[in-house]
């Protein structure tokens, strides 16, 4: 047996030592700065008389229609496979292939895996093994280490297990580097590292009916058996590239934001960045501080709301360190906020429990119809977007650049972003916005990017072109009952799950935070907590009943899928734009994210009390 794998004489379980060392100390950075200029920290007043009238609606429609069909992405294969290399860790720790059995195998060592381990361990499930593609824990926060990275949900509600680790984040919106350290803290404190196989990618997961086990094969030659498989490998995991003719001919350096190459010194260089989503919005202000010239190739502007970053105050530290349950209480209050913007701006007085609500509630003398409620939501979204557009005019000096930076779609339809330095960056003489609307960059040559007949020579080209949403390639490699893959099932029947966690025909397989997986607020961590609690309940229930296998019945699954479809359709006007959330406008309603709010809880509690959706089987072994 290698040093990487040993047997614990007390438990008889295998203990792993496969965490890879950090590749270089150059991999370091910070997130949002504290900005003192008050003008940059608040939105301008609402423009007087702003209404979402027919003219404005037509403008939104034209903005959307011009972009329809423009999105064209490709996987990182062939020449582009190198973009997937792990640039953050030393090479994998050598170890023998494993062919043994464990009770629970979890795919992913990010927030999901870390929290699951803590909860499973506490509940007495210790025969748990994790497979993680990266060289260390962190998931999203392992792979995304671009300059400027930070969370956009306040860190006191977003970082898991704060009380359990005794940690208080340094900033209201912690940097990704601080979050990664917190992941390492959680892993160290709760013994996660002993259970994780790093640099190990699951390549096939096949249900064996006879033994009632999953057979899990990896790129390290493992062929392990597990009673349960939990997919905790994230919702924006697989990076993608815009497909642009000539991209393979570019002779300069290039990389995707999720594999930031700190070996390339950007100081004084001509750097281009394609894309202006949440990643680029955070990276661009930091890039502008070091590069010689920065070319930002934008197809669709993001909405740039205020960030208002601040340090954690001394008073907060003192109060929280004496207040058991502070983080849980805060997270629970956060979860009660049902409006995106109110949630992300995170009113401190409300979250600290000092005031009862985060806003004054309007009282209506009668109950509004669903149509009236929708109209009110669209109107307030429009007014907020008007403020966001007015902010661009107030900050960006060049009128042509300002016009290009204004988004025309409902708030939150594309991922809202927050920054107090992004817009001022476009006033710098060495920062150039190249507006490629509405079709995007469509030519790259060996020297750089070409757009509208103008060549932009570059030393370095950065793809900030995002990730596959709700669709990891894992789904193609999971074979359930009858040898059918999950992808095949969903392609033929439409996405069908129960609570987003189970899918019929795939017994003992649980998907954490996947398609149709509700259970929380805008705080992703909240969803993970809800899913982890549910899974612990399920496994305990099975233990109590002496069940070895659980599947879900078709009828409750169909009912739940129909519910997902209906709420998606009912709320669709709020997301009427081209966005990865709706599969660039092409996804079947209800097949991706979940928009049913707390109704997920109702489905869950009903199922837990009746057990009607489940089919329990005895252990084949």
The percent of the chain in helix, strand and coil, each rounded to the nearest 5, is 35, 20, 45
Q: Which helix (H) or strand (E) holds 120?
A: helix 111-122
Residue number with CB closer to ligand NAP (17 or 439): 439
Paired tokens of 585: 């406008």
Does 592 sit near ligand NAP (CB under 6 A)?
no
Binding residue for ligand NAP, selected from 116, 280, 385, 458, defined by CB under 6 A: 280
Does 343 sit near ligand NAP (CB under 6 A)?
no
Residue number with CB closer to ligand NAP (376 or 586): 586
Which residues of 240-348 form beta strands (DSSP E)?
Answer: 241-242, 253-256, 270-274, 293-298, 304-305
- Under a CB-based contact definition with an 8 Å cutoff, are residues 503 and 510 in contact? no
- Under a CB-based contact definition with an 8 Å cutoff, are residues 466 and 237 in contact? no
Binding residue for ligand NAP, selected from 105, 236, 395, 478, defined by CB under 6 A: 236
User: Cβ of 371: how many Cβ atoms within 10 Å?
Assistant: 8
| CA Rg value for the chain | 24
Q: Which helix (H) or strand (E) holds 163?
A: helix 162-165
Smallest Cα–Cα separation from 103: which of 87, 120, 84, 118? 120
The stretch among 89-97, 119-127, 295-303, 544-552 that binds ligand NAP (CB under 6 A) is 295-303
- Under a CB-based contact definition with an 8 Å cutoff, are residues 254 and 462 in contact? yes
Does 441 sit near ligand NAP (CB under 6 A)?
yes
Does 276 sit near ligand NAP (CB under 6 A)?
yes
Distance from C-alpha of 236 to C-alpha of 377, rounded to nearest angstrom: 28
Angle at 509 between CA 212 and CA 75, to 5 degrees: 125
Closest distance between ligand NAP and the C-beta of residue 322, in Å? 30
Closest distance between ligand NAP and the C-beta of residue 362, in Å? 30
Q: Which of residues 96-135 bind ligand NAP (CB under 6 A)?
A: none
Does 151 sit near ligand NAP (CB under 6 A)?
yes
The stretch among 4-12, 147-155, 394-402, 530-538 that binds ligand NAP (CB under 6 A) is 147-155
The stretch among 74-82, 261-269, 433-441, 507-515 that binds ligand NAP (CB under 6 A) is 433-441
202-208 and 14-16: which strand pairing? unpaired
Binding residue for ligand NAP, selected from 138, 147, 160, 277, defined by CB under 6 A: 277
Does 466 sit near ligand NAP (CB under 6 A)?
yes
Distance from C-alpha of 356 to C-alpha of 56, rounded to nearest angstrom: 36
Closest distance between ligand NAP and the C-beta of residue 289, in Å? 18
Residues 6+ apart with CB under 8 A from 72: 242, 243
Residue number with CB closer to ligand NAP (105 or 294): 294
Whether residue 438 has a cis bond before it, omega within 30° of 0: yes
Does 71 sit near ligand NAP (CB under 6 A)?
yes
The stretch among 275-283, 336-344, 379-387, 490-498 that binds ligand NAP (CB under 6 A) is 275-283
Does 161 sit near ligand NAP (CB under 6 A)?
no
Does 175 sit near ligand NAP (CB under 6 A)?
no
Closest distance between ligand NAP and the C-beta of residue 87, in Å? 17
Does 279 sit near ligand NAP (CB under 6 A)?
yes
User: Cβ of 552: how many Cβ atoms within 10 Å?
Assistant: 23
**Of how many residues is the chain composed?**
621
Smallest Cα–Cα separation from 489: which of 506, 509, 508? 506
Does 450 sit near ligand NAP (CB under 6 A)?
no
The binding track of 374-413 with respect to ligand NAP, each residue x by CB under 6 A or -, is ----------------------------------------
Binding residue for ligand NAP, selected from 152, 154, 222, 386, defined by CB under 6 A: 152
Residue number with CB closer to ligand NAP (158 or 475): 158
Residue number with CB closer to ligand NAP (153 or 226): 153
Paired tokens of 345: 């701006």
Angle at 296 between CA 471 and CA 450, to 5 degrees: 95
Give residues in contact with ligand NAP (CB under 6 A). Answer: 67, 71, 150-152, 236, 242, 244, 257, 274-280, 282, 297, 299-300, 415, 436, 440-441, 464-467, 580
């Amino acid at each position: 047996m290698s040093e990487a794998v040993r047997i614990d004489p007390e438990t008889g379980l295998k203990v792993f030592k496969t965490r890879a060392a950090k590749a270089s100390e150059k991999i370091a950075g910070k997130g949002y700065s504290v900005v003192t200029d008050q003008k940059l920290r608040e939105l301008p007043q609402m423009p007087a008389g702003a209404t979402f009238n027919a003219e404005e609606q037509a403008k939104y429609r034209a903005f959307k229609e011009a972009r329809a069909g423009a999105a064209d992405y490709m996987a990182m294969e062939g020449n582009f496979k190198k973009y997937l290399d792990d640039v953050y860790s030393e090479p994998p720790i050598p170890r023998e292939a494993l062919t043994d059995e464990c009770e629970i195998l979890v795919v992913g060592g990010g927030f999901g895996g870390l929290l699951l381990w803590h909860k499973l361990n506490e509940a007495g499930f210790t025969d748990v093994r994790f497979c993680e593609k990266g060289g260390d824990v962190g998931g999203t926060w392992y792979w995304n280490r671009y300059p400027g990275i930070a969370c956009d949900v306040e860190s006191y509600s977003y970082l898991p297990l704060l009380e359990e680790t005794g940690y208080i984040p340094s900033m209201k919106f912690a940097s990704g580097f601080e979050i990664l350290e917190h992941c390492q803290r959680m892993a160290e404190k709760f013994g996660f590292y002993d259970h994780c196989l790093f640099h190990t990618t699951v390549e096939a997961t096949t249900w064996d009916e006879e033994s009632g086990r999953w057979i899990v094969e990896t790129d390290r030659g493992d062929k392990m058996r597990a009673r349960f498989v939990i997919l905790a490998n994230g919702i924006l995991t697989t990076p993608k590239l815009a497909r642009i003719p000539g991209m393979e001919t570019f002779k300069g350096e290039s990389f995707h934001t999720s594999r930031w190459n700190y070996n390339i010194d950007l100081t004084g260089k001509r750097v281009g960045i394609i894309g202006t989503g949440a990643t680029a919005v955070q990276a661009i202000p930091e890039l502008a501080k070091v590069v010689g010239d920065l070319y930002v190739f934008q197809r669709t502007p993001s909405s740039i709301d205020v960030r208002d970053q601040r340090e954690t105050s001394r008073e907060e530290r003192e109060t929280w360190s004496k207040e058991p349950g502070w983080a849980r209480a805060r997270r629970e209050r956060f979860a009660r906020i049902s409006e995106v913007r109110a949630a992300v701006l995170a009113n401190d007085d409300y979250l600290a429990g000092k005031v009862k609500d985060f806003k004054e509630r309007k009282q209506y003398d009668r109950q509004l119809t669903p149509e009236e409620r929708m109209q009110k939501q669209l109107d307030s979204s429009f007014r907020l977007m008007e403020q966001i557009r007015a902010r661009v005019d107030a900050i960006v000096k060049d009128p042509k650049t300002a016009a290009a930076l204004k988004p025309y779609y409902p708030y939150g339809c594309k991922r809202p972003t927050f920054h107090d330095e992004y817009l001022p960056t476009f006033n710098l003489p060495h920062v150039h916005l190249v507006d490629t609307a509405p079709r995007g960059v469509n030519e790259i040559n060996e020297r750089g990017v070409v757009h509208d007949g103008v060549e932009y020579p570059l030393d370095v080209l950065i793809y900030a072109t995002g990730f596959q949403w709700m669709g990891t390639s894992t789904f193609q490699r999971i074979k359930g009952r009858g040898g059918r893959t999950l992808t095949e099932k969903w392609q033929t029947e439409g996405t069908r799950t129960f609570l987003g966690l189970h899918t019929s025909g795939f017994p003992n397989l649980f998907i954490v935070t996947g398609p149709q997986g509700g259970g929380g607020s805008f705080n992703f961590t909240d969803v993970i907590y809800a899913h982890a609690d549910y899974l612990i309940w399920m496994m305990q229930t099975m233990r109590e009943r002496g069940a070895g296998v659980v599947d879900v019945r078709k009828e409750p699954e169909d009912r739940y899928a129909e519910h997902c479809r209906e709420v998606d359709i009912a709320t669709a006007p709020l997301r009427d734009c081209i966005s990865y959330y709706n599969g660039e406008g092409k996804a079947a309603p209800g097949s991706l994210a979940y928009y049913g709010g707390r109704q997920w809880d109702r489905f869950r509690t009903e199922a837990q009390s009746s057990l009607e959706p489940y089919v329990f089987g005895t252990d084949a072994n």
